[in-house]
Amino acid sequence: MTDEMAWIIQAQNGNDEGFTNLVETYQKPVYNLCYRMLGEAEAAEDAAQETFLKAYQNLARYDRERSFATWLLSIAAHYCIDRLRRKRFSTFSIDEDEEGQTELPDNSAPDPENEAVKKQTRERLQHCLQSLEPVDRAAVIMRYWQDCSEMEIAQALKLTIPAVKSRLHRARRALADSWEGKPARMRPERKPYGSPAF
Amino acid sequence: MDHRPFEDWLLDNKDLTGTEKRELNAHLQSCHSCTALAEVNLALKSARAAAPAEGFTDRFQVRLASRKKALRLRNFWGFLILFMSAFGLLTWIGWPVIATIFQSPVNVLVSWLSSLMSTWAAIQAMVQAGQVAFKVIPGFVPEYIWVAVLFAAGGWIVLWVFSLLKITKVTRGV
Protein backbone atom coordinates (compact mmCIF):
# COMPACT_ATOMS: atom_id res chain seq x y z
CA MET A 1 0.00 0.00 0.00
CA THR A 2 1.34 3.46 -0.93
CA ASP A 3 1.75 6.26 1.60
CA GLU A 4 -0.97 8.17 -0.22
CA MET A 5 -3.48 5.34 0.09
CA ALA A 6 -2.60 4.91 3.77
CA TRP A 7 -3.25 8.63 4.36
CA ILE A 8 -6.54 8.44 2.47
CA ILE A 9 -7.69 5.47 4.55
CA GLN A 10 -6.60 7.23 7.75
CA ALA A 11 -8.46 10.37 6.72
CA GLN A 12 -11.57 8.41 5.76
CA ASN A 13 -11.47 6.85 9.22
CA GLY A 14 -11.52 10.33 10.76
CA ASN A 15 -7.80 10.83 11.35
CA ASP A 16 -7.00 14.48 10.57
CA GLU A 17 -3.26 13.79 10.43
CA GLY A 18 -3.77 11.64 7.34
CA PHE A 19 -5.60 14.48 5.63
CA THR A 20 -2.91 16.97 6.67
CA ASN A 21 -0.35 14.81 4.85
CA LEU A 22 -2.55 14.90 1.75
CA VAL A 23 -2.76 18.70 1.97
CA GLU A 24 1.03 18.91 2.27
CA THR A 25 1.45 16.71 -0.79
CA TYR A 26 -1.11 18.32 -3.08
CA GLN A 27 -1.06 21.97 -2.02
CA LYS A 28 1.15 23.03 -4.93
CA PRO A 29 -0.77 21.44 -7.85
CA VAL A 30 -4.11 22.55 -6.40
CA TYR A 31 -2.87 26.10 -5.75
CA ASN A 32 -1.29 26.27 -9.21
CA LEU A 33 -4.54 25.21 -10.89
CA CYS A 34 -6.49 27.81 -8.90
CA TYR A 35 -3.92 30.51 -9.57
CA ARG A 36 -3.86 29.85 -13.33
CA MET A 37 -7.65 29.74 -13.39
CA LEU A 38 -8.32 32.85 -11.33
CA GLY A 39 -5.21 34.90 -12.03
CA GLU A 40 -4.94 36.36 -8.51
CA ALA A 41 -2.81 35.06 -5.65
CA GLU A 42 -5.38 35.90 -2.96
CA ALA A 43 -8.30 34.35 -4.84
CA ALA A 44 -6.16 31.29 -5.63
CA GLU A 45 -5.25 30.81 -1.96
CA ASP A 46 -8.92 31.01 -1.00
CA ALA A 47 -9.99 28.63 -3.78
CA ALA A 48 -7.25 26.13 -2.91
CA GLN A 49 -8.27 26.18 0.76
CA GLU A 50 -11.94 25.71 -0.19
CA THR A 51 -10.95 22.84 -2.48
CA PHE A 52 -9.31 21.00 0.40
CA LEU A 53 -12.29 21.73 2.64
CA LYS A 54 -14.67 20.28 0.04
CA ALA A 55 -12.39 17.25 -0.32
CA TYR A 56 -12.36 16.83 3.47
CA GLN A 57 -16.16 16.99 3.64
CA ASN A 58 -16.66 14.56 0.73
CA LEU A 59 -13.81 12.17 1.44
CA ALA A 60 -16.22 9.34 2.27
CA ARG A 61 -17.48 9.53 -1.33
CA TYR A 62 -14.00 9.25 -2.85
CA ASP A 63 -13.65 6.06 -4.92
CA ARG A 64 -10.27 4.49 -4.08
CA GLU A 65 -10.07 2.98 -7.57
CA ARG A 66 -9.67 6.47 -9.04
CA SER A 67 -6.62 8.70 -8.90
CA PHE A 68 -6.75 10.95 -5.84
CA ALA A 69 -4.90 13.74 -7.67
CA THR A 70 -7.46 13.73 -10.49
CA TRP A 71 -10.34 13.74 -7.99
CA LEU A 72 -8.80 16.68 -6.11
CA LEU A 73 -8.02 18.64 -9.27
CA SER A 74 -11.56 18.00 -10.45
CA ILE A 75 -12.92 19.63 -7.29
CA ALA A 76 -10.53 22.57 -7.72
CA ALA A 77 -11.37 23.02 -11.40
CA HIS A 78 -15.13 22.94 -10.83
CA TYR A 79 -14.85 25.33 -7.89
CA CYS A 80 -12.86 27.82 -10.01
CA ILE A 81 -15.19 27.42 -13.02
CA ASP A 82 -18.21 28.13 -10.79
CA ARG A 83 -16.47 31.08 -9.23
CA LEU A 84 -15.52 32.53 -12.62
CA ARG A 85 -19.05 32.05 -13.94
CA ARG A 86 -20.51 33.71 -10.86
CA LYS A 87 -18.23 36.68 -10.66
CA ARG A 88 -16.79 37.01 -14.16
CA PHE A 89 -13.69 38.61 -12.79
CA SER A 90 -10.87 37.67 -15.05
CA THR A 91 -8.59 40.63 -14.65
CA PHE A 92 -5.08 39.57 -14.04
CA SER A 93 -2.68 41.90 -12.33
CA ILE A 94 0.61 41.77 -14.16
CA ASP A 95 2.23 43.31 -11.08
CA GLU A 96 1.95 40.01 -9.25
CA ASP A 97 4.02 36.91 -9.69
CA GLU A 98 3.22 33.38 -8.49
CA GLU A 99 3.84 34.30 -4.86
CA GLY A 100 1.64 37.35 -5.07
CA GLN A 101 4.58 39.72 -4.90
CA THR A 102 6.19 41.92 -7.50
CA GLU A 103 8.75 39.94 -9.43
CA LEU A 104 11.73 42.01 -10.48
CA PRO A 105 14.46 40.77 -12.80
CA ASP A 106 17.12 39.05 -10.70
CA ASN A 107 20.27 41.09 -11.30
CA SER A 108 22.35 38.53 -9.42
CA ALA A 109 21.23 35.77 -11.80
CA PRO A 110 23.77 34.64 -14.41
CA ASP A 111 21.68 36.21 -17.19
CA PRO A 112 19.30 38.87 -15.80
CA GLU A 113 18.15 39.85 -19.29
CA ASN A 114 17.15 36.27 -20.04
CA GLU A 115 15.36 36.06 -16.67
CA ALA A 116 13.41 39.21 -17.48
CA VAL A 117 12.39 37.79 -20.86
CA LYS A 118 11.23 34.54 -19.21
CA LYS A 119 9.22 36.51 -16.67
CA GLN A 120 7.64 38.56 -19.43
CA THR A 121 6.75 35.37 -21.32
CA ARG A 122 5.12 33.89 -18.20
CA GLU A 123 3.10 37.04 -17.62
CA ARG A 124 2.05 37.17 -21.26
CA LEU A 125 0.95 33.53 -21.17
CA GLN A 126 -1.01 34.09 -17.94
CA HIS A 127 -2.64 37.13 -19.51
CA CYS A 128 -3.59 35.09 -22.60
CA LEU A 129 -4.99 32.30 -20.40
CA GLN A 130 -7.54 34.76 -19.01
CA SER A 131 -9.01 35.14 -22.50
CA LEU A 132 -10.09 31.48 -22.57
CA GLU A 133 -13.48 30.31 -21.40
CA PRO A 134 -13.25 28.62 -17.94
CA VAL A 135 -13.58 24.96 -19.03
CA ASP A 136 -11.02 25.36 -21.84
CA ARG A 137 -8.69 27.11 -19.41
CA ALA A 138 -9.00 24.26 -16.91
CA ALA A 139 -8.25 21.72 -19.66
CA VAL A 140 -5.12 23.61 -20.77
CA ILE A 141 -3.86 24.02 -17.21
CA MET A 142 -4.40 20.36 -16.39
CA ARG A 143 -2.67 19.31 -19.61
CA TYR A 144 0.39 21.58 -19.48
CA TRP A 145 0.93 22.42 -15.83
CA GLN A 146 -0.32 19.25 -14.15
CA ASP A 147 0.72 16.90 -16.97
CA CYS A 148 -2.65 15.13 -16.94
CA SER A 149 -3.61 12.75 -19.73
CA GLU A 150 -6.63 13.46 -21.92
CA MET A 151 -8.51 10.70 -20.10
CA GLU A 152 -7.75 12.26 -16.68
CA ILE A 153 -8.89 15.66 -17.94
CA ALA A 154 -12.06 14.08 -19.31
CA GLN A 155 -12.76 12.43 -15.94
CA ALA A 156 -12.00 15.58 -13.98
CA LEU A 157 -14.05 17.94 -16.15
CA LYS A 158 -16.82 15.42 -16.94
CA LEU A 159 -16.16 15.59 -20.68
CA THR A 160 -15.66 12.98 -23.35
CA ILE A 161 -12.11 12.38 -24.62
CA PRO A 162 -12.91 13.77 -28.12
CA ALA A 163 -14.39 16.85 -26.44
CA VAL A 164 -11.16 17.31 -24.44
CA LYS A 165 -9.06 17.03 -27.61
CA SER A 166 -11.31 19.50 -29.37
CA ARG A 167 -11.22 21.93 -26.48
CA LEU A 168 -7.43 21.73 -26.22
CA HIS A 169 -7.06 22.48 -29.94
CA ARG A 170 -9.53 25.33 -29.77
CA ALA A 171 -7.92 26.73 -26.63
CA ARG A 172 -4.41 26.70 -28.09
CA ARG A 173 -5.64 28.41 -31.25
CA ALA A 174 -7.32 31.04 -29.07
CA LEU A 175 -4.15 31.42 -27.00
CA ALA A 176 -2.15 31.96 -30.18
CA ASP A 177 -4.63 34.61 -31.34
CA SER A 178 -4.38 36.34 -27.99
CA TRP A 179 -0.58 35.98 -28.09
CA GLU A 180 -0.60 37.78 -31.44
CA GLY A 181 -2.73 40.52 -29.96
CA LYS A 182 -5.89 39.61 -31.88
CA PRO A 183 -9.16 40.02 -29.99
CA ALA A 184 -10.48 36.74 -28.58
CA ARG A 185 -13.02 35.06 -30.84
CA MET A 186 -16.32 34.85 -29.00
CA ARG A 187 -17.76 31.38 -29.32
CA PRO A 188 -20.83 30.04 -27.60
CA GLU A 189 -19.98 27.74 -24.71
CA ARG A 190 -20.40 24.11 -25.66
CA LYS A 191 -22.36 21.65 -23.61
CA PRO A 192 -20.12 19.08 -21.85
CA TYR A 193 -21.05 16.20 -24.14
CA GLY A 194 -21.64 18.31 -27.22
CA SER A 195 -20.07 16.93 -30.37
CA PRO A 196 -17.10 19.00 -31.55
CA ALA A 197 -18.53 18.74 -35.09
CA PHE A 198 -21.49 21.00 -34.31
CA MET B 1 -2.48 32.23 -46.39
CA ASP B 2 -2.83 28.46 -46.31
CA HIS B 3 -1.79 27.22 -42.82
CA ARG B 4 -2.23 23.53 -43.63
CA PRO B 5 -0.66 21.19 -42.72
CA PHE B 6 1.59 23.35 -40.47
CA GLU B 7 -1.16 24.42 -38.07
CA ASP B 8 -2.26 20.78 -37.65
CA TRP B 9 1.34 19.72 -36.97
CA LEU B 10 1.63 22.37 -34.27
CA LEU B 11 -1.78 21.64 -32.73
CA ASP B 12 -1.18 17.88 -32.72
CA ASN B 13 2.41 18.22 -31.41
CA LYS B 14 3.44 15.96 -34.26
CA ASP B 15 6.96 14.48 -34.26
CA LEU B 16 8.43 15.99 -37.42
CA THR B 17 10.94 14.57 -39.85
CA GLY B 18 13.93 16.67 -40.97
CA THR B 19 12.19 17.76 -44.18
CA GLU B 20 8.97 18.63 -42.33
CA LYS B 21 10.95 20.70 -39.81
CA ARG B 22 12.57 22.66 -42.64
CA GLU B 23 9.20 23.21 -44.31
CA LEU B 24 7.67 24.36 -41.03
CA ASN B 25 10.55 26.76 -40.32
CA ALA B 26 10.20 28.23 -43.82
CA HIS B 27 6.45 28.70 -43.23
CA LEU B 28 7.02 30.28 -39.81
CA GLN B 29 9.26 32.94 -41.41
CA SER B 30 6.27 34.35 -43.25
CA CYS B 31 3.24 33.37 -41.11
CA HIS B 32 2.55 35.34 -37.92
CA SER B 33 -0.41 33.16 -36.97
CA CYS B 34 1.56 29.91 -36.96
CA THR B 35 4.53 31.64 -35.30
CA ALA B 36 2.23 32.68 -32.45
CA LEU B 37 1.00 29.09 -32.17
CA ALA B 38 4.58 27.78 -32.04
CA GLU B 39 5.50 30.39 -29.41
CA VAL B 40 2.46 29.50 -27.31
CA ASN B 41 3.39 25.81 -27.55
CA LEU B 42 6.89 26.61 -26.34
CA ALA B 43 5.60 28.85 -23.53
CA LEU B 44 3.15 26.17 -22.38
CA LYS B 45 5.81 23.47 -22.38
CA SER B 46 8.16 25.61 -20.28
CA ALA B 47 5.40 26.88 -17.95
CA ARG B 48 6.29 27.04 -14.26
CA ALA B 49 3.94 25.92 -11.51
CA ALA B 50 2.89 28.54 -8.97
CA ALA B 51 3.35 27.68 -5.30
CA PRO B 52 1.33 28.96 -2.35
CA ALA B 53 2.91 31.11 0.33
CA GLU B 54 4.62 29.30 3.23
CA GLY B 55 2.30 27.86 5.90
CA PHE B 56 -0.53 26.77 3.59
CA THR B 57 -1.24 23.64 5.66
CA ASP B 58 -1.32 25.61 8.92
CA ARG B 59 -3.75 28.08 7.40
CA PHE B 60 -5.87 25.16 6.18
CA GLN B 61 -5.99 23.67 9.68
CA VAL B 62 -7.09 27.02 11.12
CA ARG B 63 -9.81 27.29 8.47
CA LEU B 64 -10.91 23.69 9.04
CA ALA B 65 -11.14 24.24 12.81
CA SER B 66 -13.12 27.44 12.28
CA ARG B 67 -15.46 25.70 9.81
CA LYS B 68 -16.01 22.82 12.24
CA LYS B 69 -16.79 25.28 15.04
CA ALA B 70 -19.22 27.17 12.81
CA LEU B 71 -20.89 23.88 11.87
CA ARG B 72 -21.26 22.86 15.52
CA LEU B 73 -22.73 26.28 16.32
CA ARG B 74 -25.11 26.04 13.38
CA ASN B 75 -26.21 22.56 14.46
CA PHE B 76 -26.78 23.79 18.03
CA TRP B 77 -28.90 26.75 16.93
CA GLY B 78 -30.73 24.59 14.41
CA PHE B 79 -31.60 22.07 17.12
CA LEU B 80 -32.61 24.81 19.53
CA ILE B 81 -34.88 26.50 16.98
CA LEU B 82 -36.42 23.15 16.02
CA PHE B 83 -36.97 22.20 19.66
CA MET B 84 -38.51 25.57 20.55
CA SER B 85 -40.74 25.48 17.47
CA ALA B 86 -41.96 21.96 18.29
CA PHE B 87 -42.50 22.93 21.92
CA GLY B 88 -44.41 26.07 20.90
CA LEU B 89 -46.55 24.14 18.40
CA LEU B 90 -47.41 21.40 20.90
CA THR B 91 -48.24 23.99 23.54
CA TRP B 92 -50.48 25.84 21.09
CA ILE B 93 -52.28 22.64 20.00
CA GLY B 94 -52.63 21.27 23.53
CA TRP B 95 -53.52 24.59 25.16
CA PRO B 96 -57.24 23.74 25.75
CA VAL B 97 -56.23 20.61 27.70
CA ILE B 98 -53.43 22.41 29.54
CA ALA B 99 -55.79 25.26 30.45
CA THR B 100 -58.31 22.75 31.89
CA ILE B 101 -55.59 21.13 33.97
CA PHE B 102 -54.55 24.45 35.43
CA GLN B 103 -58.11 25.63 36.00
CA SER B 104 -59.42 22.49 37.79
CA PRO B 105 -56.84 19.79 38.46
CA VAL B 106 -59.22 17.69 40.67
CA ASN B 107 -61.90 17.42 37.94
CA VAL B 108 -59.29 16.37 35.35
CA LEU B 109 -57.89 13.75 37.76
CA VAL B 110 -61.36 12.35 38.51
CA SER B 111 -62.29 12.15 34.80
CA TRP B 112 -58.95 10.41 33.99
CA LEU B 113 -59.50 7.88 36.80
CA SER B 114 -63.03 7.21 35.65
CA SER B 115 -61.82 6.65 32.03
CA LEU B 116 -59.14 4.31 33.36
CA MET B 117 -61.70 2.30 35.34
CA SER B 118 -64.11 1.98 32.42
CA THR B 119 -61.26 0.88 30.10
CA TRP B 120 -60.22 -1.74 32.67
CA ALA B 121 -63.82 -3.04 32.92
CA ALA B 122 -64.08 -3.22 29.10
CA ILE B 123 -60.84 -5.22 28.88
CA GLN B 124 -62.09 -7.67 31.56
CA ALA B 125 -65.38 -8.15 29.70
CA MET B 126 -63.51 -8.79 26.43
CA VAL B 127 -61.23 -11.35 28.12
CA GLN B 128 -64.24 -13.22 29.53
CA ALA B 129 -66.00 -13.19 26.15
CA GLY B 130 -62.79 -14.43 24.53
CA GLN B 131 -62.50 -17.30 26.99
CA VAL B 132 -66.07 -18.40 26.26
CA ALA B 133 -65.51 -18.13 22.49
CA PHE B 134 -62.25 -20.10 22.81
CA LYS B 135 -64.12 -22.94 24.48
CA VAL B 136 -67.09 -22.96 22.06
CA ILE B 137 -65.67 -22.09 18.56
CA PRO B 138 -63.14 -24.98 18.14
CA GLY B 139 -66.00 -27.45 18.13
CA PHE B 140 -67.52 -25.78 15.02
CA VAL B 141 -64.27 -25.25 12.96
CA PRO B 142 -62.87 -28.28 11.01
CA GLU B 143 -59.24 -29.33 11.74
CA TYR B 144 -57.90 -28.55 8.24
CA ILE B 145 -58.91 -24.89 8.71
CA TRP B 146 -56.80 -24.72 11.86
CA VAL B 147 -53.82 -26.24 10.03
CA ALA B 148 -54.19 -23.69 7.19
CA VAL B 149 -54.40 -20.82 9.69
CA LEU B 150 -51.27 -22.04 11.51
CA PHE B 151 -49.30 -22.36 8.23
CA ALA B 152 -50.40 -18.89 7.08
CA ALA B 153 -49.37 -17.36 10.43
CA GLY B 154 -45.99 -19.15 10.31
CA GLY B 155 -45.34 -17.94 6.75
CA TRP B 156 -46.30 -14.42 7.67
CA ILE B 157 -43.86 -14.41 10.62
CA VAL B 158 -40.99 -15.76 8.51
CA LEU B 159 -41.62 -13.10 5.82
CA TRP B 160 -41.73 -10.40 8.45
CA VAL B 161 -38.45 -11.49 10.09
CA PHE B 162 -36.61 -11.67 6.72
CA SER B 163 -37.92 -8.25 5.68
CA LEU B 164 -36.76 -6.73 8.97
CA LEU B 165 -33.32 -8.32 8.63
CA LYS B 166 -32.96 -7.01 5.07
CA ILE B 167 -34.11 -3.50 5.90
CA THR B 168 -31.92 -3.16 8.99
CA LYS B 169 -28.79 -4.71 7.40
CA VAL B 170 -25.76 -2.45 8.14
CA THR B 171 -23.30 -1.90 5.26
CA ARG B 172 -19.61 -2.09 6.15
CA GLY B 173 -16.96 0.53 5.41
CA VAL B 174 -17.25 4.30 5.23
At B107 the pLDDT is: 82
Over residues B45-53, mean pLDDT: 88
At B19 the pLDDT is: 84
Q: Is residue A15 part of a domain?
A: yes
pTM as predicted? 0.66
Its sign, for the CA torsion A4, A6, A11, A12, is positive
CA B168 → CA A198, B156, B162, distances in Å?
51, 18, 10
Q: Is residue A63 part of a domain?
A: yes
**Hey, are the CB atoms on B50 and A52 less than 8 Å from each other?**
no
pLDDT beyond 70 at B59: yes
| Domains contained in chain B, number | 1
At A184 the pLDDT is: 56
Mean pLDDT is lowest, of A23-37, A50-64, B23-37, B153-167, for B23-37
Q: Is residue A103 part of a domain?
A: no
Helix extents (H) in B32-168: 32-45, 56-93, 95-103, 105-136, 143-167
- Domain at A58, CATH number: 1.20.140.160
Q: Evaluate whether A148 touches A156 at the Cβ level (below 8 Å).
A: yes
Q: Is residue B31 part of a domain?
A: yes
Q: Is residue A16 part of a domain?
A: yes
pLDDT digit string (tens) for B154-170?
A: 999 999 999 998 877 65
Predicted ipTM of the assembly: 0.75
Partner residue opposite A23 with nearest CB, options B43, B45, B57: B57
Torsion of CA A72, A75, A76, A82, to 10 degrees: 180
Domain that holds residue A57: 3-91+126-180
Listed ranges A36-50, B89-103, B106-120, B135-149; the one with the highest mean pLDDT: A36-50
Q: Is residue B111 part of a domain?
A: no
List of chain A residues whose C-beta atoms are within 8 Å of the C-beta of residue B44: 125, 140, 144, 172, 175
At B92 the pLDDT is: 93
List of chain B residues whose C-beta atoms are within 8 Å of the C-beta of residue A29: 49
List of chain B residues whose C-beta atoms are within 8 Å of the C-beta of residue A177: 33, 36
Q: Which of A32, A63, A103, A146 to mutate to test the interface with B (most CBs of B within 10 A)?
A: A32
Ramachandran angles phi, psi of B104, nearest 5°:
-145, 80
Closest of A189, A143, A148, A145 to residue A169, by C-alpha: A143
Give the Cα separation of B150 and B142 in Å (integer).
13
Domain that holds residue B32: 6-45
Size of interface A-B (CB pairs under 8 A): 98
Q: Exposure pattern of B60-98 as b/e (b: 16+ CB <10 Å)?
A: beeebeeeeeeeeeeeeeeeeeeeeeeeeeeeeeeeeee
Q: Is residue B22 part of a domain?
A: yes
Over residues A90-118, mean pLDDT: 55
Residue by residue, what is the 3-state secondary structure of B55-75? CHHHHHHHHHHHHHHHHHHHH
Interface membership of A66 toward B (CB under 8 Å): no
Give the Cα separation of B9 and B15 in Å (integer).
8
pLDDT beyond 70 at B80: yes
At B89 the pLDDT is: 96
**Hey, are the CB atoms on B11 and A172 less than 8 Å from each other?**
yes
**Hey, are the CB atoms on B49 and A32 less than 8 Å from each other?**
yes
Partner residue opposite A52 with nearest CB, options B39, B44, B60: B60
pLDDT beyond 70 at A10: yes
Q: Evaluate whether A137 touches A72 at the Cβ level (below 8 Å).
A: no
At B34 the pLDDT is: 86
Average pLDDT, chain B: 87
Q: Is residue A11 part of a domain?
A: yes
At A138 the pLDDT is: 94
The number of beta carbons lying within 10 Å of the beta carbon of residue A63 is 8
| Domains contained in chain A, number | 1
Q: Is residue B103 part of a domain?
A: no
pLDDT beyond 50 at A18: yes
List of chain B residues whose C-beta atoms are within 8 Å of the C-beta of residue A179: 36, 39-40, 43
